[in-house]
Amino acid sequence: MKGKLYGIGVGPGDPELLTLKAKRIIEEADVVAVPVKKPGELSVALEIAKQSAVIPEEKIREIEFTMNKDKAKREACRKKAAGEVMDLLEEGKTIAMLTLGDIGIYSTYAYVHKIIVKAGYDVEMISGIPSFCAGASKANISLTEGNEGLGVIPSLRGIDQVEKALDVFDNLVIMKVGNHVEEVYELLESKGLAENGIVVSNVGMEDEYVGPLLPEREYGYFTTIIVKKEL
């Protein structure tokens, strides 16, 4: 009998935000597949899962997803990754592939999911807590209430797209802000929303910051800005 692949979201960082289902399936799986950029590299998703689930070293299997700038190389690497997973499925293995946050939101897993579904294997996605939900909870605010809308957009998409999204939605999560903070601040200021940005940055790290958007401050890579027109 062929195996089954579970794509599993382990949540944004706090090991206790793993779901009961994620913990059970990870512990029951024959193989815990871990996406890495390079072999031997530390996987944050695995480090999180290990703190709440029992994962023997011999079950862990690294799967490489290169971040090479060459699109063809990235695609080839994804095909190879899917092939490795399908080989394990042919052997009848149950595989739990881990991803940070939710399994359906900007996950590396998505790149192999489609290929493996198309090939006809048994696949199930297990949701995890998205980083922006945990970020809002950390900031003690709701993302959306009543009949309000919510937008989620990476700042890499371009500031004009962020502006369009801001015009449509009462609440906007701008992800991966990194070095676009100043641009975002200027946009908010131009809309009279300079005081409506809440920053959630490097949660759980030494330089964690959760508070109002201050343009003169430096923020880390894992920076999310939540804009709420009504605070």
Chain contacts with a second copy (rule: CB under 8 A): 9, 11, 14-21, 23-24, 52, 102-107, 110, 113, 117, 123-130, 133-134, 136-138, 140-147, 149-154, 156-157, 161, 164-165, 168-169
Residue 161 vs 190, nearer CB to a second copy: 161
A 10 A CB-CB count for 188 gives 23
A 10 A CB-CB count for 142 gives 14
Q: In this structure, which amino acid lies at residue 11?
A: G
Question: Residue holding tokens 């023997």?
Answer: 56
Residue 14 vs 218, nearer CB to a second copy: 14
Structure tokens, 33: 């597949």
Least distance in angstroms from the C-beta of 45 to a second copy: 16
Residue 60 Rama label (left phi>0; alpha psi -120 to 50; beta):
beta
Least distance in angstroms from the C-beta of 9 to a second copy: 8
Residue 164 vs 229, nearer CB to a second copy: 164
User: What's 204's DSSP letter?
Assistant: T
User: What are the backbone angles phi and psi of residue 63, rounded to the nearest 5°?
Assistant: -125, 125
Least distance in angstroms from the C-beta of 64 to a second copy: 19
Q: Are 186 and 219 in contact (CB under 8 A)?
A: no
Residue 24 vs 38, nearer CB to a second copy: 24
Least distance in angstroms from the C-beta of 225 to a second copy: 14
Residue 212 vs 215, nearer CB to a second copy: 212
Least distance in angstroms from the C-beta of 189 to a second copy: 21
Residue 170 Rama label (left phi>0; alpha psi -120 to 50; beta):
alpha
